[in-house]
Structure 1
Amino acid sequence: MIYNNKTILSLLTTLGIGSMLLVASCNSDEFLEDNGTNTFGFTEPRNSEDFETIIEGAYYSMSGEGGFRGMLNAPVLFSAFTSDEGWLPDEYINVSDDARQWYNRDFTDRTLSQPERTWSAAYATIGATNLIIDFLQGDPANGFDDRNGEAWTPRVLGEAYFLRAFSHYQLARMFGPPPTADPSAPSIILRAKTPEGAFDNPGLASVQEVYDLIVSDLNRAMELLPEAFVEGRDPLAYEDRATRWAAVFMAAEVNFMLNNFELAEQYATEVIESGRFELQEDILDAWDDNSLGAQAPEVIWQYVGYNRNQQRWKPIIIHRYLGFTDANGNPDRVSTEQRLSLSDVLVENLGWNNPDVAALDKRHNELYVRIEAGEDSRPNYDQIPGLRIWPNKWYRAEFSGWGTASTASLPLMRLPEMYLTRATVRLLNGNSQGAADDLNAVKRRAWAGDASAFVPVSASEITEEMIALERMIELAFEDDRIYYLQAMQMDIPPGERIATSPFPYGQVELPIPQTEADINPNVE
């Protein structure tokens, strides 16, 4: 299959593969126009270095191909505003349409920009991965016999399968119902290969079809990806990219969502017992790294924003919605647009309304800002009654001027999630002691008091509610709460919303963006 320069380029733009006009096996520029982004400089892969260039392009597409158009922002924001973990102060400050609608659990607007950006960036990423998978026909033996071929080709193919699975998963969780609700329901457009022509615009695949491909791709990724970056074997940029452990982590997450609990526990255990990661006492360390190869011991995979030539990934904008400091992460200036605090319900359940209790948790001390009634210095925020605890996780790299703190990496996969997933599965399977051990491991590393004063949860005491509460605060505003509840087939509690009932877990899905429906006749 021949790809001209502009065909490859277009696969990596934010048009989105589902709706783009793509001409494969064509050297004409008739249908496609250059948008100003640098092309690869080749019409088809010529060597293993070209494979590396394409997979770097896939990561770049994930970042949104410049600006703030990446695929990782909307999933976090959608989950944060929709779940019961946060409170929206819309009576006191101006909030954007997406924040208000999602907080009110109104999922009817097809014109919001953030979901459209995720849709476009994800399909651009998928398009790049398919270039590699299609060319190699899924087999690294079809690669090039050059100086890097034997070492690079399996890894690049594994990255392609992983990123395709990750991108489809992000889309399926946002734009489709959960598999625990109705596996036969329509979900998203499935792109298992490069489009065959300009008007190759399929309709929506079923939830089951989408998850079948995700699982299949993860299995291939686990077979092909190396366990770690090796200097001299791998290109420098790979030091910050997905290894086999990212695929294993995601396999645990996906199988948990599918209620394949035995596999979820198996993969979670594999990550926990790998010896490569550890729960750490320095809670902030996962959030303040911003240089090549800098990764906290509990982080399995992260999105890096340090903007080196090897990656060119762009800063995430989650901070612009949820962060406590200003838009540059300056710790001496606070945001006047922060749109969520922890909900009162969560604060009370944690006991954090008591400052002495809250001070015993490192997460409260390091990743949140506690402000009592009337003490907020921000205009309008000072009118908010009662205690508010505001998140402060993002843009936490050292600030030394514009564009420095915002280069902090975004952890996408952290070890505590594996412990808490395994704790849930163990408890469901009757292993109360194992569940308590896992829960205590997470609670102990967050304990800020004297070590001798820590009181572990016993096997006779542990409940699903305890694990869920620990998970809720450990992974607050990290794109987890909604999907945990969906996996457990539990409706979404109202949180601090007034006079509302729990929202049906199977109905938390956004409509396909209008930009797709306008072009694709197979999407209503």
Structure 2
Amino acid sequence: MSKSSILKNITIGLFSVIALSIQYSCEKFLDEKSDKKIATPSSLEDLSLMLDNYSMLNVRNPSVGEISSDNFYVTDNDLQSANERERSYYLWEKYDLTAGDWNGPYNNILHANVILENVEKFKNENIVLASTIRGKALFLRAFNHYSLSQLYAPPFDQNNADSDLGIPIRTTSDHDVKPFRASNLESYNAIINDVLGALPLLPSSPDQKHHASKPAAFGLLARIYLSMGFYDKAGVYADSCLQFYSTLIDYNTINANASIPFPQRNEEVIYEARTSSPSLLTRARAKVDTVLLSQYDDYDLRKSIFFLSNANGSKAFKGSYTGLSTSSMFVGIATDEMYLIRAECFARNGKILEAMADLNHLMLNRWNNDNPFVPFTASGQVEALEIILTERRKELLFRGLRWSDLRRLNMEDAARITLTRIINNEEYKLLPNSSRYVLQIPRESIEFSGIEQNP
């Protein structure tokens, strides 16, 4: 492949003319790495360097699901001063004018496809390294396709998955190949197959936490199957992840007064990924939901470590695993999420003692040692699920997971949730299973490709 072809494939958008800022970032990356021959991959080393492009591959994940969820609220004035895109998503209005949450993941998928198309050429240099690179690229493609599925395709419904429209699945870097929307079943199958293909190729532990590994792949499968409602498989894969890596942080060792309590790539992080920094989620604007705050016990260390007091008495979130003070969210894979997935799946399968054991193991590491933790107990499945899902929300807020949880839980009659905002004395509601749980595909992509828009 020629230098001009590689440059074209990396800098041109997938389904539309990519926003100039994204084009510039890609071009800048190529310029900076030109001495290392990234523009024309000619060795496994060059492909390895492409996977090391942290500022592109690990920090451009979507944030819009969190903006639309119920972990926080903003004042009338703060909403008014936000940009049109964020205002629209916060109020669950149709919006198709900007494409960052769509283009970012598809650019990462393009990056992965370039690597996958070139790795076979150089595998004789080092077969083991070539296999590892292939595994990491497959994981990267799956991680980004999955992120898109949680925003632009309907929640997975076994009864309609073969007819519901999913997302375009891209397996080529050729921008001349126009996209089409696979069914939701085909979309999820493609994502899962990529992760399964990556698993035997990945290292048992990450060489760097922004790279994929076996526990990261198992964790991603657990997350995927949880969103699909396949709780048997989600539990199995969460368990597989924890067999490889199960470290939890004892929050008694964390300085609750620190403005950034957790360092980047902390001990619980298995795979590091984060979003951009949306203005509505800054500490000055995003006030943590008061009902959610009221659920933390005074001896629950998350109450002091996760939250910062504002001058007006509200709380801001400071407990991100990004290690940053910005509004960028950690959306990677960590052990606390895996314990909660396994606990939930145990409960759904009637294994109440095992479910409570997983939850209590997590909570022992979250509880103030000055007041001994009293383990949770549950009399049956319903009570166990209620406790676990409550703790899941309290543990995983601002992780980009709440939107996916709302989508899947709203499909259960007993768990449906109506979201409400009040802005300028006007009430806005998002009803369970509303079409607004599926976002509009950017208009420029629709016009370029001719794919069908969401309702």
Structure whose residues are more often helix by fraction: 2
Q: Which moved more, 1:388-397 or 1:46-55?
A: 388-397
Answer yes or no: is 1:130 the counterpart of 2:113. Answer: yes
Aligned to 2:304: 365
Which one of 367, 373, 395 corresponds to residue 447 of structure 1?
A: 367
Match of 1:7, as an amino acid? S
Flag the 1:346–1:8 CA change in 2: closer, same or farther, 3 A: same
Flag the 1:410–1:6 CA change in 2: closer, same or farther, 3 A: farther
Which one of 440, 443, 455 corresponds to residue 514 of structure 1?
A: 443
Flag the 1:409–1:346 CA change in 2: closer, same or farther, 3 A: closer
Whole-Å separation in 2 of the counterparts to 1:422 and 1:487: 16
Aligned to 2:66: 80
Unaligned runs of at least 5 residues, structure 1: 22-33, 64-69, 231-237, 305-314, 325-334, 377-381, 398-403
Residue aligned with 2:419, SS: coil
Among all aligned residue pairs of Structure 1 and Structure 2, give the percentage whose two residues are the same amino acid. 22
Whole-Å separation in 1 of the counterparts to 2:430 and 2:336: 30
Whole-Å separation in 1 of the counterparts to 2:403 and 2:138: 26
Q: Is the 8 A contact 1:79 1:477 kept in 2?
A: no
Flag the 1:276–1:392 CA change in 2: closer, same or farther, 3 A: closer
Answer yes or no: is 1:255 the counterpart of 2:225. Answer: yes
Match of 2:50, as an amino acid? I
Render the CA deviation track for 1:23-51: whole Å, top value 9, x for unaligned. Answer: xxxxxxxxxxx956425747754322122
Aligned to 1:4: 2
Which one of 317, 320, 324 corresponds to residue 391 of structure 1?
A: 317
Residue aligned with 1:420, SS: helix
TM-score, normalised to structure 1, is: 0.73
Match of 2:176, as an amino acid? F
Flag the 1:257–1:81 CA change in 2: closer, same or farther, 3 A: same
Aligned to 2:129: 152
Per-residue deviation at 1:279?
4.3
Answer yes or no: is 1:46 the counterpart of 2:6. Answer: no
Whole-Å separation in 1 of the counterparts to 2:428 and 2:179: 41
Per-residue deviation at 1:220?
1.1
TM-score, normalised to structure 2, is: 0.83
Which one of 393, 397, 403 corresponds to residue 472 of structure 1?
A: 393
Whole-Å separation in 1 of the counterparts to 2:430 and 2:451: 35
Aligned to 1:481: 402
Which one of 259, 263, 274 corresponds to residue 289 of structure 1?
A: 263
Aligned to 2:384: 463
Per-residue deviation at 1:322?
2.0
When Rg is computed on C-alpha atoms for both structures, the one with the higher figure is: 1
Match of 1:475, as an amino acid? L
Flag the 1:456–1:242 CA change in 2: closer, same or farther, 3 A: same
Which one of 75, 90, 95 corresponds to residue 82 of structure 2?
A: 95
Q: Is the 8 A contact 2:210 2:272 kept in 1?
A: yes
Whole-Å separation in 1 of the counterparts to 2:27 and 2:418: 45
Residue aligned with 2:272, SS: strand
Whole-Å separation in 1 of the counterparts to 2:73 and 2:176: 44
Per-residue deviation at 1:145?
2.7
Aligned to 1:321: 280
Per-residue deviation at 1:367?
1.6
Per-residue deviation at 1:434?
1.1
Q: Is the 8 A contact 2:301 2:368 kept in 1?
A: yes
Q: How many residues align?
A: 425
Aligned to 1:342: 288
Residue aligned with 2:332, SS: strand
Whole-Å separation in 1 of the counterparts to 2:377 and 2:39: 62
Match of 1:16, as an amino acid? G
Q: Is the 8 A contact 1:5 1:41 kept in 2?
A: no
Render the CA deviation track for 1:365-385: whole Å, top value 9, x for unaligned. Answer: 0121234xxxx2xxxxx5xxx
CA RMSD of aligned residues (A): 3.1
Q: Is the 8 A contact 1:188 1:210 kept in 2?
A: yes
Q: Is the 8 A contact 2:343 2:356 kept in 1?
A: yes
Flag the 1:56–1:169 CA change in 2: closer, same or farther, 3 A: same
